[in-house]
Structure 1
Amino acid sequence: MAWTEITRAQYRREDLEYASDLRDAEWALIAPRMPERKRLGRPRRTDLRRVMEAILYIVTTGCQWQQLPRHFPAFTTVQGYFYRWIREGRWEAMNHILVILSREQDGRGATPSVGIIDSQSVKTVSAGCNLPKTAG
């Protein structure tokens, strides 16, 4: 996609503390996919929006878990949520829903109507074959 003045303004994130932070509208799409509060046990005190922003910060900057800025939740908390959401399949579900919403926003069908599979294959020499011996 080529950047134009319209797209530059649309994707500008200078008003946020970090470019990886979520706007309210973006969080509104993700929040329903977050785990519910448990009825039993200790009540959750961690803000899941800050956890998600911390994960996006790590993904965007490539920093290590331990280098997460202090105003995010503790890196061990963020890391725990990240791996739990992987095990639960939450990332795949969120990605699937967001792709559908993005396609519908662009005026396309929720799922692709055509798929292209490249069936080209490359033949290689199998290991252990009998190669001609050269006189040496």
Structure 2
Amino acid sequence: MLFQTIHDVALMIDRERAGRDASSSAGIVDSQSVKSPAARERGDDAGKKINGRKRHIAVDTDGCLLMVNLTTADISDSAGARTILEVMRKRWPWMKHLFADNAYDRKTLMDKAASLDFTVEVVQRTDTEPGFKVVPRRWVVERAFGWMTCWRRLVRDDEARIDISGGMIQLAMASLLLRRVCH
């Protein structure tokens, strides 16, 4: 909880320094499966063939972390996002709009979002042309995952307890924000 508070204060300072409102009104949601051999609780993500945990995150439109929810890897993206929605409504009350990929296009998630006064926009990928294409809005959350893995300790989840792992993610992202604020 301490690392999350430090992170949130640094986030608000960084946003105000950039001339934006302290609280974001839009965000992007995604998840990442990571191996966690030392975890007490872990599951199998059959799609990615990973036994471990799943990091469900929400970032603002700059890619700064707003919320993280760690689960076993067998939890679906939309189920992990429902928890994020509930906590985000309390922690970031001005948040109104979320962008997500196809994995979040589920009726239960959309109903939960509507009941909490969120608008979830599913950003479709276009496969009309061959090769790699940057998907608007979704690249921001992928960049945030990249920033996380700059911390060697977050490449794999070697923490036995899930709360320690969440604290390390908060600490890593707060460190990036504090570096931006100080320079």
Q: TM-score, normalised by structure 1?
A: 0.27
- The structure carrying a bigger strand percent of its residues is 2
Pick 1 or 2: higher relative contact order, CA cutoff 8 A, min separation 6.
2
Q: TM-score, normalised by structure 2?
A: 0.22
- Greater C-alpha radius of gyration: 1
